[in-house]
Amino acid sequence: MTPHEYRSLLTQTLEKLDMAAVEQLVEVFLDAHARGARIFTMGNGGSGASASHAAGDFLKGASYGLDKRFTMICLNDNLPSMMAIANDIGWDDIFVEPLKNYLQPGDVVIGISGSGNSRNVLKAGEFAKSNGATLVGMTGFKGGKLREIADLTIHSDAMDMEVAEDVHMAVFNMVKKIMHVAPHGRQSEHGRNLRRQGFLTFGPYFKLPYP
């Protein structure tokens, strides 16, 4: 695949993205923030990097300037505990085991899997659902089982892993942009500063008031 072909596939996939699902994800984040619920992310390989990247963005970027901040935790960031679980229990348990420590009803769990069939993501997702959490699936290819069991799915409709990773991070960035506007339309000082400097732009899908 040439760079031009990749750009074309990525553009086409973004054009097919279900923006209603993105809007629902925005609401999931706003609701979790309002309730003080935790948001967990997880994934393997490049999806794990996206999970970590997103958690870092919401720890600092989306929370900066807010009195009430987001609590977003990446389950694949604690390498020693993840290796201990994989070695002593099994790779399929690396995400579900920390969830057993942290998860509370009403929390949000975001599983990222290009195939939608990563067993460790599915096991943690099923545990989350059975314990009163909202499960968000981020998938590619055909979506796999994760697309079937998730309460909300962000799906990259292309048979390409790299495109899926790009789409997933783009969606996280879309949500992050909205979070520069504090919940219920009150804009943070950080958000106001960014807008004054021309850094924040919002598309037609996000119609929050900007005081």
% of residues, the chain, pLDDT over 70: 85
Helix 3-15 vs helix 161-179: crossing angle, to nearest 10: 50
Residue-level pLDDT at 64: 77
| Length of the chain, in residues | 211
How many structural domains is the chain composed of? 1
Predicted confidence (pLDDT) per residue in 33-81, tens digit: 999 999 999 999 999 999 999 999 998 888 877 778 899 999 999 999 9
Residue-level pLDDT at 181: 65
Confidence of residue 101 (pLDDT cuts 50, 70, 90): very high
Through-space distance between the first and last CA atoms of the chain, rounded to whole angstroms: 46
Q: Domain for residue 98, yes or no? A: yes
Q: Tell me, what CATH number does 125's domain have? A: 3.40.50.10490
Q: Domain for residue 4, yes or no? A: no
Q: Look up the domain containing 178 and give its range.
A: 20-196
Q: Domain for residue 203, yes or no? A: no
Q: Domain for residue 180, yes or no? A: yes
* Cα–Cα distances in angstroms (integers) from residue 25 to residues 21, 84, 193, 199, in the given order: 6, 33, 25, 22
Q: Domain for residue 2, yes or no? A: no
Residue-level pLDDT at 191: 45
% of residues, the chain, pLDDT over 90: 78
Q: Which of 3-17, 111-125, 158-172, 194-208 has the lowest mean pLDDT?
A: 194-208
Predicted confidence (pLDDT) per residue in 137-150, tens digit: 999 999 999 999 99
In the predicted model, what is the mean pLDDT of residues 27-36?
94
Q: Domain for residue 83, yes or no? A: yes
Residue-level pLDDT at 163: 98
Residue-level pLDDT at 30: 93
Confidence of residue 199 (pLDDT cuts 50, 70, 90): very low
Looking at per-residue pLDDT, the higher value among 71 and 201 belongs to 71
Confidence of residue 122 (pLDDT cuts 50, 70, 90): very high
Cβ neighbours of residue 186 closer than 8 Å, sequence gap 6 or more? 211
Q: Domain for residue 12, yes or no? A: no
Q: What is the mean pLDDT of the chain?
A: 88
Element (DSSP H or E) covering residue 153: strand 152-155
